[in-house]
Amino acid sequence: MSLLSEQGSASENQPGAPSILESLELSEAALEGLRLLVVKLEPLLAGDRLSRLVDLMSVATDIVDMSDSYMVEKLANVFEEGTSAAWLAGNAARVASAQVSKLSEPPSLIRLLRMTSDSDVRRGLAFALEFSGALGKQLNHGVTNHLED
């Protein structure tokens, strides 16, 4: 038995009182739609899952309420920086992959040392070493917030 029919029958015990369905003054198609909606909601109500959905919507509205223009701007900057870093890494990986695929065999140690005469290679190695140092420092001393104002 559905929720609407239970509530409707409860008011039938009181003589002269209209049922909930009758008091809504909806068309028959609208009432049928409500009945179908209640049938779909009954498992959510029985398993207390509907309250979880309501809690989730409450959290979403709290986030919207908390998001002022400063927070939105800061999040946009973080997104832009992250996208830029991903784009840069993707482009570098494509270029390096294309150059390595041209090699018929892996470079020798002497060839690798000769590659360091290129300033771009040295710049990339310096970045990799600095990145490794910063990562090691954070792993050793805990993560610090680099996104502060």
Q: What is the pLDDT of residues 51-104, one digit of tens each?
A: 888 899 999 988 888 888 888 889 899 999 999 999 999 999 999 889 888 989
Q: What integer pLDDT is reported at residue 138 of this predicted model?
A: 81
Give the domain ranges of the chain: 3-65, 68-102, 106-149
**Single-letter amino acid code for the residue at 24:** L
Region of poorest pLDDT, from 18-22, 23-27, 31-35, 135-139: 18-22
For residue range 107-119, what is the model confidence (pLDDT) as tens digits?
A: 899 999 999 999 9
| Average of per-residue pLDDT values in the chain | 82
- For 80, list phi and psi in degrees, rounded to 5: -65, -45
The answer to whether the beta carbons of residues 8 and 19 sit under 8 Å apart is yes
Question: Residues near 122 by Cβ (< 8 Å), separated by ≥ 6?
Answer: 116
Identify the CA nearest to 31 among candidates 1, 57, 65, 8.
Answer: 8
Angle at 125 between CA 122 and CA 127, to 5 degrees: 110
End-to-end CA distance of the chain: 59
